[in-house]
């Protein structure tokens, strides 16, 4: 009996162990099934994202084709054939490293400048020949006057000295005939020289017009190449710490990046920065490596946070060059509705902190130093002076905008410039007793402060602190 009871107990133990093993196995298999299902869902999502990215890439390629003057239906082979044709036609004699659109255009522009210089030299030559012709005509007039005077004197004296002058008369007539032939030949040569000079001047004028037209066309092509486009985003966000408001970007020491440079952040896959606004602003706080820097988030939207892969852009900083800027009009950075020289100096400092250069700045006396050049990238246009502004300020604004048009410098409004570089405007706020209830103060107004005694009901309260064990 004891032996049967022992066997029954062993059987029960085995049964329980098998039940436990079966349960554990079922749980493991179920967990693996859920994990496999989750991975499959993630794979489908990634496939959709890859498809969207491919479509966006095709759209960007078609846009780039349009910027280069090709149709969206042109194939890479047809584009390459047209490119080779252009290089064979316009840059056949150029070195291989310059047989591209931009270097070829720059060299054509330089050739136009040389032609302009040659035209100036030809015009100087024409002026010199005219001066020589005038001097020769003056000398000839003097000779003719002397001849007329001698003939008149001879006619007056011939009666009294006919016998004495008879022998010399034939010689005088011969000399007169010779002199007359010389004068006619001189006039003929002068007329021929004048005709030749007029022909050369007409040809030079025609060449100058052709050179001017070619220069204008080349300048328009260069201006189109300088226009900001989506392929000129300077970098992207690599990683984000939403809790600390910190991001890491793929620019660093090797890119000549400096702390305090600000960027606007655009969503990954943005087709055109002019069609969609920025989603956030960041400021570089520390350059960590050749292509890595740390930045703090200046402003963003909780509903549309910064994520890895987002693009960054600023019109001030550019890899491998110092961008030049000019400023015209009234500047108001903090939005208080007041315009003063200190605001303008702050804007200049902001541009220089971001690696830019300010052309034609205002000195402490409000006078322009220097001027805009072909290297100036943007004219930042603030508020236009009104009728109440000084005549000097209105004239300065008109001069700067006129120079920008003549030099074909792109004009950008102050608000658009600050938005693209990621600058956040300062604004006054009113804090109610430190309780966090803040509201903006309208520009040009100062919040009123009551001088009455604060009631005990509205005084800030401090939570009681226990001597031990309390969470306070």
pLDDT for the residue 248: 96
Q: Is residue 464 part of a domain?
A: no
- What count of residues does the chain have? 472
- Number of structural domains found in the chain: 3
Q: Is the pLDDT of residue 427 over 70?
A: no
For the chain, how are helix, strand and coil distributed in percent, rounded to 5? Answer: 55, 15, 30
Query: Which tens digit of pLDDT belongs to each residue from 28-62?
Result: 888 888 888 888 888 878 878 888 888 888 888 87
Same domain, 143 and 182: yes
Q: So what's the pLDDT on residue 297? A: 92
In this structure, the answer to whether residues 337 and 413 fall within a common structural domain is: yes
Considering the domain architecture, whether residues 363 and 402 belong to the same structural domain is answered as yes
Spatial strand order in the sheet of 376-381 = 357-358, 324-328, 376-381, 410-413
- Pair (128, 210) in one structural domain: yes
- High-pLDDT (> 70) share of the chain, %: 80
257 has a pLDDT exceeding 90: no
Q: Does 217 share its domain with 120?
A: yes
Going by pLDDT thresholds of 50, 70 and 90, the confidence category of residue 470 is: very low
What's the CATH number where 393 sits? Answer: 3.40.50.10190
Main-chain dihedrals φ then ψ at residue 256, nearest 5 degrees: 60, 35
pTM of the model: 0.40
Closest CA to 272 of 311, 242, 216, 321: 311
Q: For a pLDDT cut of 90, what percent of the chain falls above it?
A: 7
Task: Say which range, 137-146, 208-217, 380-389, has the weakest mean pLDDT.
Answer: 208-217
Report pLDDT for 462: 41
DSSP per residue over 292-309, as a string?
A: EEEEEEEEEBTTB---TT
pLDDT band, residue 364 (cuts 50/70/90): low
Rounded to 5 degrees, what angle do the CA atoms 397, 401, 406 make? 145
Calculate the alpha carbon distances from 360 to 328, 339, 379, 393 in Å.
Answer: 10, 19, 11, 15
| Beta-carbon contacts of residue 304 (< 8 Å; ≥ 6 apart) | 267, 279
Does some domain include residue 77? no
Please give the pLDDT value at position 292: 93
Q: In whole angstroms, what is the distance from residue 146 CA to residue 227 CA?
A: 72
In a domain, 342, yes or no: yes
Residue 247 reports pLDDT greater than 90: yes
pLDDT of residue 443: 45
Burial class (CB in 10 A: 0-12, 13-18, 19+), 311: buried
- State which residues form the domain around 349: 321-420
Residues 215, 258 share a domain? no
CB neighbourhood size of 138 (10 A): 9
The total of other beta-carbon atoms located within 10 Å of residue 252's CB is 18
CATH value at residue 289:
2.40.10.170
Is 249 among the domain residues? yes
Asked if the model's pLDDT at residue 346 lies above 70, the reply is yes
């Amino acid at each position: 009996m004891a032996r049967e009871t022992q066997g029954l107990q062993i059987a029960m133990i085995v049964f329980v162990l098998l039940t436990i093993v079966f349960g554990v196995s079922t749980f493991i298999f179920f967990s693996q099934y859920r994990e496999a299902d989750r991975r499959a869902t993630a794979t489908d999502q990634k496939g959709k994202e890859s498809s969207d990215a491919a479509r966006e890439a095709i759209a960007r390629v078609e846009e780039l084709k349009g910027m280069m003057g090709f149709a969206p239906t042109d194939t890479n082979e047809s584009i390459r054939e047209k490119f080779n044709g252009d290089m064979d036609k316009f840059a056949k004699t150029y070195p291989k490293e310059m047989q591209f659109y931009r270097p070829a255009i720059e060299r054509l522009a330089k050739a136009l400048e040389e032609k302009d210089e040659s035209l100036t030299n030809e015009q100087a030559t024409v002026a010199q020949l005219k001066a020589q012709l005038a001097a020769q005509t003056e000398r000839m007039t003097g000779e003719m006057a002397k001849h007329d005077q001698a003939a008149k004197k001879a006619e007056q004296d011939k009666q009294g000295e006919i016998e004495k002058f008879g022998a010399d008369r034939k010689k005088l007539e011969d000399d007169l005939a010779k002199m007359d032939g010389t004068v006619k030949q001189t006039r003929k040569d002068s007329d021929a020289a004048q005709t030749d000079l007029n022909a050369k001047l007409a040809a030079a004028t025609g060449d100058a017009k052709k050179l001017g037209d070619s220069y204008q066309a080349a300048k328009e092509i260069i201006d189109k190449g300088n226009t900001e486009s989506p392929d000129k985003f300077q970098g992207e966000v690599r990683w984000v710490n939403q809790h600390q408001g910190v991001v890491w970007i793929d620019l660093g020491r090797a890119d000549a990046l400096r702390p305090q440079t600000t960027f606007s952040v655009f969503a990954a896959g943005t087709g055109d920065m002019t069609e969609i606004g920025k989603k956030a602003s960041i400021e570089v706080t520390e350059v960590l490596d050749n292509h890595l820097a740390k930045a703090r988030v200046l402003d963003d939207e909780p509903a549309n946070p910064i994520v890895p892969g987002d693009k960054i852009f600023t019109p001030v900083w550019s890899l491998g060059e110092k961008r030049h800027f000019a400023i015209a009009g009234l500047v108001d950075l903090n939005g208080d509705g007041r315009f003063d020289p200190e605001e303008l100096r702050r804007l200049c400092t902001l541009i220089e902190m971001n690696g830019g250069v300010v052309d034609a700045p205002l000195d402490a006396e409000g006078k322009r130093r220097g001027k805009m050049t072909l290297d100036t990238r943007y004219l930042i246009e603030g508020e236009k002076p009104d009728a109440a502004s000084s005549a000097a300020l209105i004239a300065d604004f008109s001069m700067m905008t006129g120079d920008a048009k003549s030099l074909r410098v792109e004009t950008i409004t102050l608000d658009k410039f600050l938005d693209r570089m990621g600058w956040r405007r300062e604004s006054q706020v009113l804090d109610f007793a430190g309780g966090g209830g803040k509201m903006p103060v309208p520009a040009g107004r100062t919040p009123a402060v009551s001088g009455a005694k604060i009631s005990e009901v509205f005084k800030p309260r401090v939570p009681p602190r226990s001597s031990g064990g309390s969470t306070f």
